[in-house]
Chain A
Amino acid sequence: MIKRIIHFFSSLKLTIFTLILLAFTSIIGTVIQQRQNPLLYIQRFGEPLYQIFKFLGFFDVYHSWWFMGLLLILALNLLFCSIRRFPRDWKILVTQKIKLSETELQAFTSKEKITIENSTVDQTLKNVLNAMKKGGFPCKEKVKDEKGWYLFSEKGKYGRLAFYITHLSIILIFLGAIIGAAKGFKGFVNITEGEKIDSIITTSQDGKSISKKLGFEVECKKFEITYYTDEEGNPTYRPKDYKSLLSIYEQGKEEYTKEIEVNHPLVYKGIYFYQSSYGDIPTLAITVQTSEGDLVDHFKVGEKESFHFLDKNDQKIAVQVLRYLPDFIMDQNRQYATRSNIPNNPAALLQIRRSNNQTERTWVFQRIPNFPHSKSTDYKFTLTSINAKKKYTGLQVAWDPGVPVVWAGCIILILGIIIIFSVPHHRLWVTITNGGKYQTINIIGSTNKNKPSFQTIFLKFITAFKSSLADTKK
């Protein structure tokens, strides 16, 4: 029973089956967008199909139980295959058999037989050793018995180890990935120029945002952005480069400062801070007028901030900027969003609260100053300008203690594959059987891969060998 399990898990058929199954199931995750909002899926597939797909893990294929199962089978396959193969390779590496039996000799396909007449064993041995060297396979070991001599030569012996290097490196990569998933974290943080933060936002397993303390503080000292210019040299909105000057503080003391940009992260205590985005912290200039057009006041506020003024009866009216969208769009379902971070169509949603706690909401647009307000408002709000002097830098924060293990696995994998393909193990046995006045020479060659190209090498060797023997005879 155990034998059969081992057999099953070390079979190459299982390898092919698993690899092809992995290939085809991986396609699912590239066709269905992964880890989206369930509502989007229901809208797209309908409720029944949604439930089936959800059960099958199609919305998070690469973390589903069956995908993990396939990877586990692959890992077990690799492990069992290596373990099962090892004793045989170890024998070949450490205790190479020099004397082959008659049946073993018959098993090889590359062989040649030569008979030498009118010579002594010692003379023939000398000539054969010389001929082997000339043919490119110098003798490594020789033994003698009553029948004659047994000579052995080999090349690329340690190439056999490449099998283990290659296959176990994949397990190493898996291990690295597991370490990263179990212990690491991933999140993001936006820091306004001049601000300091001590925690970031990460996403938990069930999709909730949670705040995570870093144990130190990060300050964005400066943020800079440059844009590509068009043919006339005017700046466009295509960013060419953006950089943040970050400083790390431990207990209030500045420890480390680095300017980061895309592809050049800051690393502190193994935690990577990558430049990933940026945005404006806009200041909105809002003018308030009475419905007759008399100016009440000007205000400068940011998103989520409030201002207030007094009405004719000296009652307080408080106004809060609920949302600011630099590039306002609205779809058929009256859902609004911003198309970009570029102020093409700046809009703000204001919430107006009177002293009697009566509230109302209204949109104001910079480009459409006369956009009709809700009827009940006796004041006119105008978005006169947007000032975006201050920016925030968007950082991705990641800590993955598995990364070094993964890289080690990758480098070993590359080396292993290159060696496995380029260092074959060639072995050559030459026996000299003494028949008194004549000697029979048997040459047997073997390789662990690519028999046809070895056959050419073998024949070349035989030719060189024979001509060398012929030379010494003269």
Chain B
Amino acid sequence: MISSKLFGVAMIIYIIAALIYVSYLVFRNVKVGNVATLVTFIGLIIHTAALISRTVASFQKGIGQPPFTNLYSSMVFFSWTIILVYLILEFKFKQKTIGAFVTPIAFACLGFATLLSDEIEPLVPALQSNWLLSHVVTCFFGYAAFAVACGISIMYLIRVYFEERSTENTGILKIFPPSDLLDELTYKAIVIGFPFLTIGIITGAAWANYAWGTYWSWDPKETWSLITWFVYAAFLHARFAAGWKGKKTAILSIVGFCFVLFTYLGVSFLLSGLHSYA
């Protein structure tokens, strides 16, 4: 399929972008940074074209589904949202160093997808719904924002680790943005993700109500998305409570992303339920 080839091209572009971002980290040259952004953007365009071509192919086969209803297609879509959310954040906060930590995640998702079958499969009746579209899209934007937050939190912890051991402004400390800014950016990314996850859970409930007659049935996937939601709600409130800044919230953000990953992948592989299609 053409789309699979395009996804492969996007994957290669992302790994190149990651390398350029790393050299930007090291050399701090504005031009290198701009090239990294440009390359990532080109990757995103090709990735978008691939998603469109997959959707078109699906309609031609008479199945006509949005391109994220099995693990392969949801993976390539997830990777796409990560890059999109990252570029939006980069544009808003002008912090290119984070790209070195985010583009590899997008690359890894696409890489993982290439191990799966790219077959376009027909949908069971319960999945033929517009709610599915809004549900999946919003959830994935939330997941992507949390992925970016997790990347920034890891940077934060690395930076703090070195700060505690050295007072000189060298090495990592020279390369990474100041820890306060990283802390703030983690928060910003979660502020983007949280409304999306909320809408995702609610549209999922609306879909369940139309498809199965109950808006909430404590199906494992539903429950895990709620668990994730609890963790990020705890994160948001922790920032207001005394003493919960910096390290503790960074760890909470990383734990939150582990929950996201389990909601997305673990549940489908390890637990059974209505969502076991993806």
Q: Which residues of A contact B (CB under 8 A)?
A: 12-13, 15-16, 19-20, 22-24, 26-27, 29-31, 33-34, 62, 177, 186, 228, 238-242, 261-265, 272, 274, 276, 396-398, 400, 403, 406-407, 410, 413-414, 417-418, 421, 452
B111 within 8 A of partner (CB):
no
B154 within 8 A of partner (CB):
no
- How many residues in B have their beta carbons less than 8 Å from beta carbons of A? 45
A12-B126 CB under 8 A given contacts A34-B218, A265-B213, A410-B202:
no
Complex-state Cα separation, A401 to B58, whole angstroms? 40
Since A23-B259, A30-B271 are in contact, a sample of 15 more A-B pairs with Cβ atoms closer than 8 Å, ordered by chain A residue number, is A13-B241, A22-B227, A26-B226, A26-B227, A33-B272, A34-B218, A262-B125, A262-B128, A265-B213, A272-B213, A274-B210, A398-B213, A398-B214, A413-B198, A413-B202
List chain B residues, Cβ under 8 A from A31.
271
Question: B233 — nearest CB in chain A belongs to which residue?
Answer: A19
The 7 A-B pairs with the shortest beta carbon distances in the complex, nearest first, are: A262-B125, A23-B230, A19-B234, A30-B220, A398-B213, A274-B213, A396-B213
- Assess whether A403 is in contact with B125, with CB atoms less than 8 Å apart: no
Complex-state Cα separation, A261 to B126, whole angstroms? 9
Complex-state Cα separation, A312 to B222, whole angstroms? 64
> How far, in Å, is A24 (CB) from chain B's closest CB?
8
Residue of B122, B191, B210 near A421 (CB, 8 A) is B191
B203-223 interface bits toward A, Cβ cutoff 8 Å, 1 = contact, 0 = none: 001100111111110101001
List chain B residues, Cβ under 8 A from A20.
230-231, 234
- Assess whether A238 is in contact with B234, with CB atoms less than 8 Å apart: no
- Assess whether A16 is in contact with B237, with CB atoms less than 8 Å apart: yes
- Assess whether A19 is in contact with B231, with CB atoms less than 8 Å apart: yes
- Assess whether A239 is in contact with B124, with CB atoms less than 8 Å apart: yes
B129 within 8 A of partner (CB):
yes
List chain A residues, Cβ under 8 A from B129.
263
Provide a sorted-by-A list of 27 A–B residue pairs whose CB atoms are within 8 angstroms.
Answer: A12-B240, A15-B234, A16-B234, A19-B231, A20-B231, A23-B228, A26-B230, A29-B218, A30-B224, A30-B267, A186-B214, A238-B124, A239-B125, A262-B126, A262-B128, A263-B131, A263-B210, A263-B211, A265-B210, A274-B211, A276-B213, A396-B212, A397-B213, A398-B213, A403-B209, A410-B202, A421-B195
- Assess whether B202 is in contact with A414, with CB atoms less than 8 Å apart: yes
B119 within 8 A of partner (CB):
no
**B interface: dominant SS:** helix
A186-B213 CB under 8 A given contacts A16-B234, A30-B267:
yes
Question: A410 — nearest CB in chain B belongs to which residue?
Answer: B202
List chain B residues, Cβ under 8 A from A22.
227, 230
**A interface: dominant SS:** helix
- Assess whether A16 is in contact with B238, with CB atoms less than 8 Å apart: yes
> How far, in Å, is A45 (CB) from chain B's closest CB?
18
A263-B125 CB under 8 A given contacts A27-B227, A31-B271:
yes
- Assess whether A403 is in contact with B238, with CB atoms less than 8 Å apart: no
A263-B213 CB under 8 A given contacts A19-B234, A62-B218:
no
> How far, in Å, is A57 (CB) from chain B's closest CB?
13
> How far, in Å, is A354 (CB) from chain B's closest CB?
47
Complex-state Cα separation, A276 to B212, whole angstroms? 7
Which residue, A22, A23, A261, has most C-beta atoms of chain B within 10 A?
Answer: A23
B135-158 interface bits toward A, Cβ cutoff 8 Å, 1 = contact, 0 = none: 000000000000000000000000
List chain B residues, Cβ under 8 A from A16.
234, 237-238, 241, 244
List chain A residues, Cβ under 8 A from B195.
414, 417-418, 421
Complex-state Cα separation, A296 to B261, whole angstroms? 66
List chain B residues, Cβ under 8 A from A186.
213-214
List chain A residues, Cβ under 8 A from B216.
177
Which residue, B125, B194, B226, B244, has most C-beta atoms of chain A within 10 A?
Answer: B125
- Assess whether B241 is in contact with A263, with CB atoms less than 8 Å apart: no
> How far, in Å, is B147 (CB) from chain A's closest CB?
19
Question: A21 — nearest CB in chain B belongs to which residue?
Answer: B230
- Assess whether B237 is in contact with A19, with CB atoms less than 8 Å apart: yes
B199 within 8 A of partner (CB):
yes
Question: B240 — nearest CB in chain A belongs to which residue?
Answer: A12
A241-B224 CB under 8 A given contacts A30-B271, A263-B210, A413-B198:
no
- Assess whether A242 is in contact with B230, with CB atoms less than 8 Å apart: no
List chain A residues, Cβ under 8 A from B199.
414
List chain A residues, Cβ under 8 A from B227.
22-24, 26-27
> How far, in Å, is A202 (CB) from chain B's closest CB?
13
B31-51 interface bits toward A, Cβ cutoff 8 Å, 1 = contact, 0 = none: 000000000000000000000
> How far, in Å, is B104 (CB) from chain A's closest CB?
28
